[in-house]
Amino acid sequence: MQLILLGPPGAGKGTQASFLEQEHGLAKLSTGDMLRAEVKSGSELGQELQEVMSSGKLVDDSLMISLIRERIAKPDCERGFILDGFPRTLAQAEALTTMLEEVDRRLQHVIELKVDDEALVERISGRYSCAKCGEGYHDSFKLPKQDGVCDKCGSTEFSRRADDNAETVASRLDAYHAQTEPLVAYYRDLGILASVDGMAEMDEVQRQINGIIL
């Protein structure tokens, strides 16, 4: 099964992709995570990416498309995958359609998470994650069961994303509305769009998604 989680920054794509990964054994492909790994490596490309990402703008389509093309050819994607953060432009969406046709696969569902802009700012400003395993948390909405200890791996180190600040968030939201939102109509026309209420609690959103894919 091939799925896309579509939604603005902070909508809960990563959170729901992790649920789907655990429950259904699908590979979670987060382009944001891939790009942050490249930045962390300190490579020349990583330095260029960091500049673009900290401005809240989108990274070049051709680079993103080749990144995903290579990634979906890996063995862990054979059973299917969830795309979190890709595609983000019409050019990326069209390239994905073509690349899946080439390998005789197709998208079953594109799940749009609908969340108001004000709630997004609140979600993003409280977001942090485990520095070791990447598990996501939130200052108000998802605290570790034991204070300061990751539920998943027991680590006591956490980190916050450099681009999760008020100024960058505003341009990321602008980029979403201008460049990514048109994909809703693109996938609706293909007949594979489903929308869920992303304002609901995490468990409820998960339940709604399971209702669509099962």
Task: List the one residue from 85, 130, 173, 196 that touches ligand ADP (CB under 6 A).
Answer: 85
Please confirm, yes or no, whether 161 is among the known catalytic residues: yes
> Under the criterion CB under 6 A, does residue 53 sit at the interface with ligand ADP?
yes
Which does residue 20 bind out of ligand ADP, Zn ion, none, counting CB within 5 to 8 angstroms by kind?
none
> Under the criterion CB under 6 A, does residue 184 sit at the interface with ligand ADP?
no
What does the angle CA 50 – CA 35 – CA 150 come to, to the nearest 5 degrees?
Answer: 105
Provide φ and ψ at 38, rounded to 5°: -65, -40
The residues in 195-214 that bind ligand ADP, with binding defined as CB under 6 A, are: 201-202, 205
**Annotated catalytic residue: which of 13, 28, 36, 123?**
13
Burial of 134 (0-12, 13-18, 19+ CB in 10 A): middle
**Nearest CA-CA partner of 45 in 73, 71, 66:** 66
> Under the criterion CB under 6 A, does residue 136 sit at the interface with ligand ADP?
yes
Q: Give the amino acid at 36.
A: R
- Closest distance to Zn ion from the beta carbon of 137 (Å): 9
Please identify, using beta-carbon distances, which residue of 193 and 208 lies nearer to ligand ADP: 208
Please choose, out of 13-21, 97-105, 146-154, 186-194, the segment that lies near ligand ADP by the rule CB under 6 A: 13-21
Q: Give the amino acid at 8.
A: P
Please identify, using beta-carbon distances, which residue of 7 and 130 lies nearer to ligand ADP: 7
Burial of 113 (0-12, 13-18, 19+ CB in 10 A): buried
> Under the criterion CB under 6 A, does residue 35 sit at the interface with ligand ADP?
yes
> Under the criterion CB under 6 A, does residue 26 sit at the interface with ligand ADP?
no
Please identify, using beta-carbon distances, which residue of 86 and 187 lies nearer to ligand ADP: 86
Please confirm, yes or no, whether 152 is among the known catalytic residues: no
CA distances from 195 to 184, 187, 199, 205, 212 (A): 9, 11, 12, 11, 9
| Strand arrangement of the beta sheet that strand 158-159 belongs to | 136-138, 127-130, 158-159
> Under the criterion CB under 6 A, does residue 88 sit at the interface with ligand ADP?
yes
| Residue ranges that bind Zn ion, judged by CB under 5 A | 130, 132-133, 135, 150, 152-153, 155
* Number of residues binding to ligand ADP, judged by CB under 6 A: 33
Helical residues (DSSP H) of 87-177, grouped into ranges: 90-102, 117-125, 166-175
> Under the criterion CB under 6 A, does residue 38 sit at the interface with ligand ADP?
no
Please give the positions annotated as active site.
13, 88, 127, 161, 172
